[in-house]
Amino acid sequence: DTEVTQTPKHLVMGMTNKKSLKCEQHMGHRAMYWYKQKAKKPPELMFVYSYEKLSINESVPSRFSPECPNSSLLNLHLHALQPEDSALYLCASSPQGALSGNTIYFGEGSWLTVV
Amino acid sequence: EDQVTQSPEALRLQEGESSSLNCSYTVSGLRGLFWYRQDPGKGPEFLFTLYSAGEEKEKERLKATLTKKESFLHITAPKPEDSATYLCAVGRAGGSYIPTFGRGTSLIVHP
């Protein structure tokens, strides 16, 4: 069973708000990812945690702050976002860390609207 | 630079009309080619991983094949519920390389 669970499914926030997106997997996967996806575009990588350590940050603005409390959980803290940050935020995981060739499994996503 | 090109960008089929989607790639040392299905407003659903030329995998009406330059996703006798965007991604050999995604093919199957 390959299941990545994301909450909330929908989030509306103001530009001065602080909110968080949460992600959980219980498959024993050792890498977790945050992707951002705009309409009619492919997913765009933001962050990768491999064995609970941040291994990739794709030059993401500091208003996005990832956190990996343990191997099953991944958070994305949001602060002072802009309307152009509105998108579908996808969490994903892969079995043996963030290694080439690993299949990445996605959650259903969190729809974020910044007003 | 690694490139992944999917064609066509959009495809409309009648129910039962078989067809193929193409994913051509340029990557130094392929380490996995991945197919996903994505329904509107949802996360990509994993379909197949292919690792070497000549490999084929099947799931219900879908069959994925791989050559040294491209992959095909064959859809046999599609149904309206097969309507979705199909994404292809490739991984390159070496360390923690994260797959590069193509822009996808939007498939609509009419009843």
DSSP string, A30-76: SEEEEEEE-TTS--EEEEEEETTEEEEE-S--TTEEEEEEETTEEEE
Question: How many Å apart are CA B34 and CA B49, to the nearest integer?
Answer: 5
Question: How many Å apart are CA B104 and CA A36, to the nearest integer?
Answer: 16
Looking at chain A, which residue has its C-alpha nearest residue B31?
A101
Q: Which residues from chain A sit within 8 angstroms of residue B87, using beta carbons?
A: 42-43
Q: Residue-wise pLDDT tens for chain B (111 aa)?
A: 788 999 999 999 999 999 999 999 998 888 899 999 999 999 999 999 999 999 999 999 999 999 999 999 999 999 999 999 999 999 887 766 788 899 999 999 999
Q: Rg of the Cα trace of chain A?
A: 13
Residues of A (37-76) whose Cβ lies below 8 Å from B:
41-43, 45, 48, 50, 55-56
pLDDT in tens, A18-37: 999 999 999 999 999 999 99
A89 contacts A112 by C-beta, under 8 angstroms: yes
B55 touching chain A per CB within 8 A:
no
pLDDT at A1 over 60: no
A1 contacts A103 by C-beta, under 8 angstroms: no
For residue A8, cis peptide bond before it (omega within 30 degrees of 0):
yes
The pLDDT, as a whole number, for residue B79 is 98
Take residue A62 and report the two structure tokens written for it: 């500091």
Least Cα separation, residue B18 to chain A (angstroms): 24
A95 touching chain B per CB within 8 A:
no
Least Cα separation, residue B44 to chain A (angstroms): 6
pLDDT in tens, A63-72: 999 999 999 9
Question: How many Å apart are CA B90 and CA B98, to the nearest integer?
Answer: 8
Question: How many Å apart are CA A43 and CA B81, to the nearest integer?
Answer: 23
Looking at chain A, which residue has its C-alpha nearest residue B103?
A42
Q: Which residues from chain B sit within 8 angstroms of residue A100, using beta carbons?
A: 31-32, 91-97
Question: How many Å apart are CA B42 and CA B39, to the nearest integer?
Answer: 6
Give the mean model confidence (pLDDT) for residues A86-99.
Answer: 91
